Amino acid sequence: MLGGGLAYTIYITLAKTYFIEVWLPPVILIVALTLAIAFIKVNGIPFLKFVTLILEFHLTPRKRKWVQGGADPLHSAFQFSTKTTKPDKKSDKKKAQIKPTIDQLDEITKILDTHGMNN
């Protein structure tokens, strides 16, 4: 509806004062684009999504470089607080002190080998 309304508005405003060569190309362009968005599917993908995927393909880099220890982009993009907290040394020590015994490792290995089935 928006495309049809826009094409009709351009036709009404330009057809009164200009020749057909002036108002017809923009009207045809808008009508064609509107019909493409409404009805055309490329490989089962709606036309508008297809166009955005093409733009994304051409605008994003094709080669990606992995950087070890790089920051998580979502974490930095959605970080709302500017406060920095110090890491808790006590909890780090507790985590480092938890070590399974040989018996626990044997039990875990047995569970993994039997896929959790008790024989």
**Digits of tens for pLDDT over the chain (119 positions)?**
888 899 989 888 888 888 888 888 999 999 999 999 899 898 899 999 999 999 999 988 888 777 777 665 554 444 445 555 666 666 666 666 677 788 888 888 888 888 777 65
What gap in Å lies between CA 69 and CA 87, rounded to an integer?
18
The CA–CA distances, whole Å, from 101 to 22, 39, 46, 96, 111 equal: 84, 65, 58, 14, 16
What gap in Å lies between CA 93 and CA 83, rounded to an integer?
24
User: pTM of this prediction?
Assistant: 0.45
Q: Is residue 87 part of a domain?
A: no
Q: Which domain holds residue 28?
A: 2-59
Q: Is residue 92 part of a domain?
A: no
**Do residues 53 and 29 make contact, with C-beta atoms less than 8 angstroms apart?**
no
Query: What pLDDT, on a 0 to 100 scale, did the predictor assign at position 79?
Result: 47
Q: Is residue 14 part of a domain?
A: yes
